[in-house]
Amino acid sequence: MTRRQLTVTQFVGAILALACYVAGLSSAPTANLPQQLSARDFWKLSEELSEPNGTFRSDNLLSNEIWLQHVIPELAKTVKGGRVYLGVGPEQNFTYIAALKPSMAFIVDVRRGNLQLHLMYKALFELSNDRADFVSKLFAKKRPAGLSTSSTALEIFNAYSEVPTSEALFKEITKSVQDHLLKTRGLPLEAEDLRGIEYVENAFYWYGPGIHYNSSGGRMGRMMATYFDLMVATDAEGRSRSYLASEENFNVLKDLHAKNLLVPVVGNFGGPKALRAVGQYVKERGGTVTAFYLSNVEQYLDQQGLWPAFCSNVAALPLDDASAFIRAVRPGPNSSGFGGFGMGLTNQLGKMAEETKSCPK
């Protein structure tokens, strides 16, 4: 064989190899997550994925994790298209979602009260033009002059600290939220859900930006982070990353809500249905879990003997090497990984696939 013949043969071989590679890519699973859901499909999905209502010792209207932003710089390295966020609890999810920019998000919580909380937030995001408007509606305070889309979270909250709460505005917003959910979105909410939403609205109206984890339970809040604290907090390098730190962050959430792609679900992490149903939904559409925010739920799963079921539920999710746990733990030598439970003083990351590989699916 001459050198010319060898070169031609190599060229043809390379073309064939490339064709096989491209064919392999086209046959691989691709993310086919919905670009948008109708309000009807949003509600149907939430109901179909959910388990019966459960209980917890607190109504958990607000996070108590002041250091939650510290893991975001490392977490942000996993940002890819077509990925799905899972979380639990209230507003801290918004800060992680703003950083990760997932295609879709599911907030799974044992209490239906958390679903009702997120329905209130859904309405407020959709009804608000910008962050300052959102804060006005959340705390029933008239918007002060001088705030703009370039205002910092600190500037916004300092400005509202000088504004009295308005009962008239509260009544107006309460009606607007209900009308938006029932009439504009057409969600078939029952009386129980409407009462739950009103309960949440009243708590934010009553306690204002000083609301903390223990406020609605009537307990002392010494050393508890307030809404103000959480929104003006920063990561370890001093960068403000809360969901109200910038219009860009805020609009990530506003866009997801407008498209009905942030879905609240009622379910126990160690339960038989919710997590597995979410995982199956995502898997069938070629999606991958980017992160699963756990707070300190593992502590309670362990106490209830539900850790093995939880581990199996997670193992069944569509994961890859970048899929990350975000957990709240007490600092200490054994504070990371399964078994390192704490009261949410600091946040740490874990590798989902690695930590659950020995658990049966």
What is the length of the chain?
A: 361
Give the model's pLDDT for residue 217: 66
Among 16-25, 77-86, 155-164, 266-275, name the one with the lowest average pLDDT.
Answer: 16-25
Show the CA angle centred on residue 263, arms to residues 124 and 253, nearest 5°.
45
- Mean of pLDDT over the chain: 89
* CA pair distance 249, 101, nearest whole angstrom: 9
Give the model's pLDDT for residue 127: 99
Per-range mean pLDDT, top range of 2-16, 49-63, 137-151? 137-151
Structural contact between residues 207 and 215, judged by C-beta atoms closer than 8 angstroms: yes
* CA pair distance 126, 177, nearest whole angstrom: 10
pLDDT for residue 268 is more than 80: yes
Q: Give the mean pLDDT of 57-61.
A: 83
Give the model's pLDDT for residue 80: 81
Among 1-5, 68-72, 76-80, 95-99, name the one with the lowest average pLDDT.
Answer: 1-5
Give the model's pLDDT for residue 77: 86
pLDDT band at 26 (very low <50, low <70, confident <90, very high): very low
Give the model's pLDDT for residue 314: 98
pLDDT for residue 220 is more than 60: no
* CA pair distance 361, 355, nearest whole angstrom: 13
Give the model's pLDDT for residue 332: 57
Give the model's pLDDT for residue 339: 36
Specify the residue for token string 């060898």: 6
pLDDT band at 189 (very low <50, low <70, confident <90, very high): very high
Q: Where are the domains of the chain?
A: 31-356
Give the model's pLDDT for residue 59: 85
* CA pair distance 104, 85, nearest whole angstrom: 6
Give the closest residue to 347 by CA, choosing from 241, 208, 198: 241
Q: What pLDDT, in 10s, does the model give residues 103-157?
A: 999 999 999 999 999 999 999 999 999 999 999 999 999 999 999 999 999 999 9
Give the closest residue to 249 by CA, choosing from 239, 259, 263, 264: 239
Q: What pLDDT, in 10s, does the model give residues 312-335?
A: 999 999 999 999 999 998 765 444
Give the model's pLDDT for residue 288: 97
Q: What pLDDT, in 10s, does the model give residues 205-218?
A: 999 999 999 987 65
The encoded tokens of residue 89 equal 């609890």
In whole angstroms, what separates CA 268 from the centre of its chain?
Answer: 16
